[in-house]
Amino acid sequence: DFIEDSEVRLIGCEAAGLGVDTDKTAATMSTGSMGIFHGMKSYFCQDEYGQIAPVYSISAGLDYPGIGPEHANLSDTGRAEYVPITDQEAVDAFEFLARMEGIIPAIESAHAVAYARKLAPSMNKDQIIVINLSGRGDKDVAAIARYRGEQLYE
């Protein structure tokens, strides 16, 4: 159980969409605030009146205006950190992993690959990065093509 192991650095990657400085983001930990939605108290992308704000991400699986309470607690206690990854960074990582390893990651997981690529150069050679590749990326190929302005004919 990595959560209990204080020697393990926990990093969550969230969908920044077009950037956390835009309204086209789903980066809850970077832009959200505490609220209640769907029966849970956590962090949400919301307006000053507590109304849930529209969110955006290239990844349908990350296109949600909130984060689970366990993640909120891990952040609040300092046990985990959360970093925003833009669509462009995720697409670049998706293509990198496919080219270099022959693995087509789910676009959700490509967000983690993107951050690992940023983090690795600052680490010692004996340190290890573990990334959870949670799904297949073949379902995301059309979304990547659309993002790049390309048309696929099925």
* pLDDT per position as a tens digit, 63-73: 999 999 999 99
Averaged pLDDT, 84-108: 97
Report if residue 64 sits inside a domain: yes
Three-state secondary structure call for residue 103? coil
Residue 5 lies in a domain: no
- Amino acid 74 reads L
Go through the chain and tell me how many residues it has: 154
Which amino acid, residue 27? A
- Could you tell me the residue range of the domain that residue 44 belongs to? 11-147
| Statement: residue 153 has pLDDT above 90 | no
Find the Cα–Cα–Cα–Cα dihedral 15, 20, 24, 27, rounded to 10°: 30
Phi, psi of 136 (to 5 degrees): -90, 140
* 154 pLDDT higher than 70: no
Element (H, E) at 141: helix 141-147
| 4 in any annotated domain | no
In sequence order, the β-bridge partners of residue 70 are: none
pLDDT band at 35 (very low <50, low <70, confident <90, very high): very high
Confidence of residue 94 (pLDDT cuts 50, 70, 90): very high
Distance, CA of 9 to CA of 19 (rounded, Å): 25
What is the average pLDDT score of the chain? Answer: 95
What does the pLDDT average to over 56-84? Answer: 96
Q: How many domains does the chain have?
A: 1
pLDDT at residue 60, as a whole number: 87
For residue 151, the model assigns a pLDDT of: 84
Residue whose structure tokens are 């690992």:
116
Q: Give me the CATH number covering residue 116.
A: 3.40.50.1100
Considering the entire predicted model, what is its pTM?
Answer: 0.93
CA dihedral in degrees (54, 90, 98, 106; nearest 10)?
Answer: -30
